[in-house]
Amino acid sequence: MTEDRRTVRLKPKAEARAIRHGFPWVYADELVTDRRTQGLAPGALAVLEDGERRPLGLVTVNVKSKIIARMLDRDPEAVIDQAWFAARLQRALDLRARLFDTPFYRLVHAEADGLPGVVIDRFGDAAVVQPNAAWAEDHIDALAAALRQVTGVSTVIKNGTGRSRSLEGLAEETVVLSGGVSAPIPVPMNGATYMADLMGGQKTGLFYDQRPNHAFAARLARGARVLDVFTHVGGFALAALAGGADQALAVDASAAALTLATEGARASGMGDRFSTRQGDAFDVLETLGQEGAQFDLVICDPPAFAPAKPALEAGLRAYERIARLAAPLVAPGGYLVLCSCSHAADLSSFRNASARGIGRGGRRGQLIHTGFAGPDHPLLPQLAESGYLKSLFFRLD
């Protein structure tokens, strides 16, 4: 075994079987946290043992987190260096290269790609890395070097922002690790061009996860008047216009995001059919209702209202309210698309909240399709949290 490798141990009653069968996390109440374990720095590597001191694999430990250990490698003697990262990244790249004809996709989706807490989105010759766990922050140089080695990208940006990092006790910062970008990156997707701000945009600059749901919505958009609420940089609206929509109104609270959306519409040759409205989504929906506005396709793709279990009830009420305000804006026989990226809200709970909201909005309808994240956002079957995105497509009476 690697010299001086530390060990941590499951409590006698903790379920080691789940770990052996692929579950990647150990919660704080499952691990023996003696003084030695408490002294481990966030992100430290250790061999995880079961209650009988049999090794289960190599984990990263953060005693400040509710997820106190994350499985890195089933081999307890694994060395986490550039070669180790390169092997994981090559496996991830092989899948994306088979799925996509252009180098614009999520390259690494955290635990599902064997890199716990790490997200990497690729934008052609640039990549944005989100090291959302302490161990990844500690190894960022080796990770970035392996990323350049495997993909050939010249620009690597560390986006160190977001709720996950704060839970790990990490500082927020965005840093160029190599290369650089001087302007938003044009991203071709579903027949449209999106503008991604890699340095100042939300998350990595673009949300690839909705790609298949954008495509499905575009099939419903031919000849339609479209309302896209929480549009970010054009989201569903640009895909709908590429699919033949007559016009699209995009709503977002961020003026910067709407500017990028407008630039994307122009770059796509659809600027004359695209308009924006800045404001709070709930306020805009209420105002449109008072105006008697009608659309053939309405999409609401809000941020996570229930990012964790304590926020679940409030989050479900917010989803219900969105549905209640949006449903009356849909013309008879039109379509309503409601989305959730909340880990804590499972599909059944979100679907029920959406149906209640539609009913409270005075409408009834059919659920014609349920969409999830694209295949560049794979699920780890043992980890329900990796399947966070839900998109419900309703046809309203």
- pLDDT tens per residue across span 122-161: 999 999 999 999 999 999 999 999 999 999 999 999 998 8
Q: For position 1, what pLDDT does the model report?
A: 44
Sheet containing 25-27: which strands, arranged edge to edge? 6-9, 44-49, 55-61, 67-73, 25-27
Q: For position 14, what pLDDT does the model report?
A: 85
How large is the average pLDDT for residues 280-295? 98
Assign residue 292 a region (left: φ > 0; alpha: ψ between -120 and 50; beta: otherwise): left
How large is the average pLDDT for residues 275-301? 98
What distance in Å separates the CA atoms of residue 37 and residue 23, rounded to the nearest whole number? 21
How large is the average pLDDT for residues 61-85? 95
- What's the pTM? 0.94
What distance in Å separates the CA atoms of residue 22 and residue 134, rounded to the nearest whole number? 21
* Residue 184 scores a pLDDT above 70: yes
- Nearest residue to 312 (alpha-carbon basis) of 267, 360, 348, 270: 348
How large is the average pLDDT for residues 198-218? 94
How large is the average pLDDT for residues 213-233? 98
Of 233, 260, 322, 341, which is the active-site residue?
A: 341
* Residue 64 scores a pLDDT above 70: yes
* Residue 164 scores a pLDDT above 90: no
What distance in Å separates the CA atoms of residue 304 and residue 269, rounded to the nearest whole number? 32
Going from the C-alpha of 242 to that of each of 125, 228, 340, the distances in angstroms are 25, 14, 24
* Known active-site residue 339: no
- Nearest residue to 121 (alpha-carbon basis) of 190, 189, 216: 189
Q: For position 348, what pLDDT does the model report?
A: 96
**Domains of the chain with CATH codes:** 6-73 (2.30.130.10), 82-178 (3.30.750.80), 193-396 (3.40.50.150)
How large is the average pLDDT for residues 164-179? 88
Residue showing tokens 């789940």: 18
* Whole-number average pLDDT of the chain: 95
* Cα diameter, the chain: 71
